């Protein structure tokens, strides 16, 4: 980067007979154009990154909503298990362990249903 707002404000040009030195002004403007070109490329890259990240956030929000619905359904099923006298305490512990493992897989970005 050639300039920032402070250095650009402090630029002083040499004077000659017809005003400012044209070569000096041209060189400064060339550097300013170079800076603007860099800023434009960086801005375009940032806009693209923001767009991709926004799309990813939307996907993750939709996925989270689906998971919440699925969790509610499974919670209803699990809540009904202790009321059944034929189910042993060990089976409930197995289900809780499976649920914990599935949650760990989800946090790592793996869908246990696709394994």
Q: Which among 39, 41, 46, 44 is positioned nearest to 5, based on CA atoms?
A: 39
pLDDT at residue 104 tops 90:
no
pLDDT at residue 107 tops 80:
yes
> pLDDT-based confidence at 16, cuts 50/70/90?
confident
Beta strands 19-20 and 15-16, pairing class: antiparallel
Which range (32-46, 57-71, 101-115) has the least confidence? 101-115
What's the mean pLDDT in 43-64? 96
Dihedrals phi, psi of 20, to nearest 5 degrees: -85, 155
* pLDDT score of 20: 79
């Amino acid at each position: 980067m050639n300039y920032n707002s402070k250095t650009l404000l402090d630029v002083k040009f040499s004077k000659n007979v017809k005003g400012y030195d044209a070569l000096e002004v041209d060189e400064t403007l060339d550097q300013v154009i170079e800076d603007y070109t860099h800023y434009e490329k960086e801005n375009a890259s940032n806009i693209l990154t923001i767009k991709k990240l926004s799309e990813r956030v939307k996907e993750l929000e939709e996925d989270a909503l689906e998971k919440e619905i699925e969790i509610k359904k499974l919670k209803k099923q699990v809540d009904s298990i202790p009321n059944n006298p034929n189910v042993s305490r060990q089976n409930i512990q197995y289900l809780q362990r499976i649920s914990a493992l599935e949650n760990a897989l989800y946090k790592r970005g793996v869908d246990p249903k696709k394994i």
